[in-house]
A = this chain, B = another copy of it.
Amino acid sequence: MALDRLMEAIRKKDNPTVAGLDPRLEYLPEYIKQEAFREWGETLEGAAAAILRFNQELIDALCDIVPAVKPQAAYYELFGWPGMRALCETIAYAHAKGLFVITDGKRNDIGSTMEAYAAAHLGETMVADKACEAFGGDALTVNGYLGMDGIRPLLEVCRRHDRGLFVLVKTSNPSSGELQDLRLESGETIYRRMGALCETWGEQLPGKYGYSGVGAVVGATWPEQLTELRRVLPHTFFLVPGYGAQGGGASDVAGAFDSDGMGAVVNSSRALLCAWQKEGCPPEDFAGAARREALRMKEALASVR
């Protein structure tokens, strides 16, 4: 089961960090952009070439420290189809370096359409009799607002191809409570009901370490809810965004871990990608700065696990 593979990688590297690959152009050193623009012009192709190189050098610098990367689909779609090609090539490069890849797409749709998303991001696309890989991630973030039949096709693909899911439960953004914190007639909050659905859906993808293949996204910016959800969702592994630049610190995510220090993987994007700007080091050392920041984060998380 795919999240078992993620847990094994976390254990091996003793680090529950996922590096978020959200390559906004303003995060890239000028020289990388200029070299790409010289070859491709100031075009979507040029931007896509620049972000691919940025990602590859980051992956080289981080692959022996972090178990996983999380490319955020929006920052690739932003560059049109050349950006989507860079997403595909980033995933392949991360796999070649032994990393687990969580594609952060927050996809959602009705069942028949969700089959297409599942095949695209976690499975295979059949073209006549040939199976082709469209993107090839190991896990995908999804939005459960449509209920079970938007999730079922994913479970089947996950079982067949050894992949996993993370369902949005309590997101890291300030207005996440606008809907997610509303209370149902039963007194339960919506996020908690969504979490309960993860436990139910996960029964179909059992794992060997107590966690299922259906994880949940719970933001580092909501430490109380993290602790509450860890307690009531014993079989649901957490993907925790919002650490670092969004305001969550190590003590805020402490509640995400179980008594073995497992149960969650914590994402950091901007703090790693922009470490070179914060450090004020030479731009050529951007990947080294990301590595130093990743080591600081690993230590900080070790202190609370």
Contact = CB atoms under 8 A, between A and B. Distances in A.
Interface of A: 22, 24-25, 33, 37, 42-44, 46-47, 72, 74-75, 77-85, 87-88, 106-111, 113-114, 116-117, 119-121, 125-130, 132-135, 143-150, 168, 171-180, 182-185, 187, 190, 193-194, 197, 241, 246
B80 A132 contact: yes
B125 A80 contact: yes
Nearest to A151: B175
A173 B46 CA distance: 41
Contact of A109 (B74, B110, B179): B74
Contacts of A125: 44, 47, 78-80
A129 B37 CA distance: 12
Contact of A77 (B117, B128, B150): B117
B175 A147 contact: yes
Contacts of A241: 110
6 contacts: A42-B130, A79-B125, A147-B178, A147-B180, A178-B197, A182-B193
Number of copies of this kind of chain in the complex? 2
Nearest to A148: B175
Contacts of A72: 109, 113, 116
Given A74-B109, A145-B145, A134 B80 contact: yes
Given A47-B125, A78-B120, A146-B168, 10 more contacts: A78-B134, A80-B120, A81-B84, A81-B85, A106-B107, A110-B173, A147-B175, A147-B177, A179-B194, A182-B185
